[in-house]
Amino acid sequence: MHHALITGANRGLGLEHARQLLERGWHVSAAVRNPDAATELAALAEGEGKLDIHAYDAADPASAAALAAVVTGPVDLLFANAGMASGETRAFGQAAGAAMLDEFRVNTIAPLALVEAFAGQVEASEMKVIALQSSRMGSVRENESGGAYGYRSSKAALNAIGKSLSIDLKDRGIVVLILHPGWVKTDMGGPQGQLTVQESVSGQLDLIARAYGNPVMSGRFYHVSGQDLPW
C-alpha cells in the first residue's frame, strides 16, 4: 500500500487529495492544525485505504520534527500543501509587517522543514516523490497585476527552495515537483475559481503519477495542466 503524508488536509485541496488517494487505496497520513475539528476528513476513514490524522502547525518550526516522530515507515508521496495568504500584506503602503513573516513561516520555511524531517522516509519508499504546493502568484515573470507582496514573495521563495531540493536530493532518487493547482474554488481561491477541487486534484495526481521514476520532472514548476510555468 502506497503511503502519502499531506499537510493542510482538513479542507480545500488537501482534503480532496486525501479523499482521492484513499479512494485509490492509499495509506494517508493527514497533518492538520486541529485534529478534533477535522470532521470531514475523519469521515473519509470509512472508505477504502487507511487514514491517520496527526496534529501539525506549519507556523511552529518544531512541528515537522514532531510529526516525523509519529509518522513512521516509508513515505511514497510527501505533499507540503498547507498554505496561507494574509490580507494584511496585499496592498502597497502597508504590506511590510509581521504578517509577512507569518506567510514565510507557513508557505516557505515549513515545507523545507518538512522535507528535511522526512527525506529519509521518502528515500526509503518505492515512489520517492515530494510535491510542493506553490502558486502561479509566485512567478515573477507572470506578475502583471502587482500587490500580494507577502503571498507572491513567499511562494517565489518556495520555488527557489524546490529547485535546490531537486538538486540536493537527486542522488537519493527523489523527484521534487513544484506545483500550481490552477485557480481553484476553495476558501482561499474563492467561488470565482476556474477549477473545482476534484478537477485540480485529479490533475495534480496525474502529474505525480508521471513523476514516479521520472527524474527529468524534478525541480520544474508545473501548472496543473502539465505545462511548465516560468519562474
Residue placing its CB nearer to ligand NAP in the complex, 43 or 124? 43
Residue 203 within binding range of ligand NAP, rule CB under 6 A? no
Region from 12-20, 91-99, 123-131, 170-178 binding ligand NAP, contact rule CB under 6 A: 12-20
Cβ atoms < 10 Å from Cβ of 183: 18
The DSSP annotation for 176-221 comes to EEEEE--SB-STTT-TT-SB-HHHHHHHHHHHHHHHTT-GGGTTEE
Region from 40-48, 70-78, 86-94, 186-194 binding ligand NAP, contact rule CB under 6 A: 186-194
Half-sphere exposure of 111 (CA within 13 A, CB side): 33
d(CA 26, CA 48): 8
The answer to whether 171 and 152 are in contact (CB under 8 A) is: no
d(CA 107, CA 133): 9
Region from 42-50, 56-64, 86-94, 123-131 binding ligand NAP, contact rule CB under 6 A: 56-64
Residue 12 within binding range of ligand NAP, rule CB under 6 A? yes
CB of 195 to ligand NAP, least distance (A): 8
Residues 4, 5, 6, 13: which binds ligand NAP (CB under 6 A)?
A: 13
CB of 48 to ligand NAP, least distance (A): 22
- Helices 197-211 and 12-23: crossing angle in degrees, nearest 10, is 60
d(CA 65, CA 62): 6
Residue 58 within binding range of ligand NAP, rule CB under 6 A? yes
Residue placing its CB nearer to ligand NAP in the complex, 66 or 170? 66
The answer to whether 184 and 197 are in contact (CB under 8 A) is: yes
Residue 219 within binding range of ligand NAP, rule CB under 6 A? no
3-state DSSP assignment of residue 131: strand
Residue placing its CB nearer to ligand NAP in the complex, 83 or 219? 83
Residue 184 within binding range of ligand NAP, rule CB under 6 A? yes
Residue placing its CB nearer to ligand NAP in the complex, 190 or 213? 190
Residue 133 within binding range of ligand NAP, rule CB under 6 A? yes
Phi, psi of 68 (to 5 degrees): -65, -20
Phi, psi of 223 (to 5 degrees): -70, 150
Residue 57 within binding range of ligand NAP, rule CB under 6 A? yes
Residue placing its CB nearer to ligand NAP in the complex, 124 or 140? 140
User: Of 175, 90, 189, which is closest to residue 136 (Cα–Cα)?
Assistant: 189
CB of 94 to ligand NAP, least distance (A): 21
* Binding residues vs ligand NAP (CB under 6 A): 7-8, 10-14, 33-34, 56-59, 81-84, 106, 133, 135, 180-181, 183-184, 186-189, 193
